Amino acid sequence: MARYWPEPPYLHGTAPRTGVLLVNLGTPAAPTAAALRPYLKQFLSDPRVVEIPRLLWWPILNGIILTLRPAASAKKYASVWMEEGSPLKVHTERLTTLLAKQLLQAGHDEIDVDFAMRYGAPSISDRLQALRARGCTRILVLPLYPQYSASTTATVTDEVGRCLAQMRNQPEVRFVRNFHDNPGYIQALASSVREHWALHGEPDRLVMSFHGVPRRSLELGDPYHCECHKTARLLVAALGIAPERALLTFQSRFGKAEWLQPYTQPTLEKLAAQGIGRVDVICPGFVADCLETLEEMAMECREAFLHHGGKVFHYIPCLNERQDWVEGLTALTIEHLGAWLSRPQADEAELKAARAQALALGARS
């Protein structure tokens, strides 16, 4: 067996291209138990996702979770499945197309944009090889996780590194670590809330629900908790509302260990019991709607809030393909591409003039 992947044909005489790879978490191929089983196994086998010693975790994963959970998860996926497929994949693919179009309109025809899923298909390895086959010698990897966490962003870095280790002729690679405080991202979030309120009026409370992680990760130095709080503060400031009208919570708890608090569903139940009539919920940690937003939040948490006495529950969709988000992502991408971008003819002339001036100054000194 060859140690390295076969190299794509070398494109002699052609200018090198630049690739942008958007990466999202992942999705099963279908809303069925058979499709959920390999997806969950890949996801929950990642030691960054579940930091339990393999000797203890493996029997639990293979003997209990992969036996019982696929069927239950399949029903949840079926409740949100779109005609084109999984919501997360559909929205990520649409965003990829729009980003490519926006970059082309900005004059960057040397850029190829693609997307991958960390778990499931299309895989990171497949899409990296596809970008290399198109002649990309430089690749920007942009995980679509606004807030950095070892259990999300770092797993993408790990997988890209694994792929690079199997390449003979490696491309130059850059990573976007996070964008939790990026102005374009924050303004797109704020605009989505303002537009919702313009149509439906304002709620008694705005709940900003982020995906949870074990509390132990915070104690071990993961910055995720702090970055979620900064996103929440910036969003509240952009909306211009009193801080006491907004709450930050964490959802999607798994297992019996303590996770980051306060938990979303118990918080909503408490608000309802206190007589808070209407809540609006937004999930800033997700840029694309998925199972955790459409089923857990818009269905399960809505039912819990109303069951405990709440009157009105609104879920504000993720950014998905909003034009202001596409523009913000384009600006973020261009910022991180930096000197990789081709310069227009006028700029090249300016650069030559600047070099000549610098050489002249150097000669005088």
Nearest to 224 by CA among 116, 166, 152: 152
- The Cα 254–Cα 211 span in angstroms is 11
Question: Residue 177, Cβ neighbours under 10 Å: how many?
Answer: 13
Pairing mode, strands 205-211 and 312-316:
unpaired
Q: Which two tokens stand for residue 31?
A: 């809303």
Three-state secondary-structure class, residue 18? strand
DSSP label at residue 169: S
- The Cα 126–Cα 124 span in angstroms is 6
Per DSSP, the residues of 247-313 read: EEEEE---SSS-BSSSBHHHHHHHHHHTT--EEEEE-TT-SS--HIIIIIIIIIIHHHHHHTT--EE
Q: What is the dihedral of CA 315, 332, 133, 135, to 10 degrees?
A: 160
Per DSSP, the residues of 191-257 read: HHHHHHHHHH---SEEEEEEE--BHHHHHTT--HHHHHHHHHHHHHHHHT--GGGEEEEEE---SSS
Burial of 4 (0-12, 13-18, 19+ CB in 10 A): exposed
- Measure Cα distances from 92 to 3, 18, 305 in Å: 33, 20, 30
- The Cα 354–Cα 112 span in angstroms is 31
Q: Is 211 annotated as a binding residue?
A: yes
- φ/ψ region of 26 (left if φ > 0, alpha if ψ in -120 to 50, else beta) reads left
Find out whether 218 and 311 touch, Cβ atoms under 8 Å: no
Q: Is 292 annotated as a binding residue?
A: yes
The sign of the dihedral angle between the CA atoms of 219, 221, 222, 228 is positive
Residues within the annotated binding site?
Answer: 211, 292
Residues of the binding site for Fe(2+): 211, 292
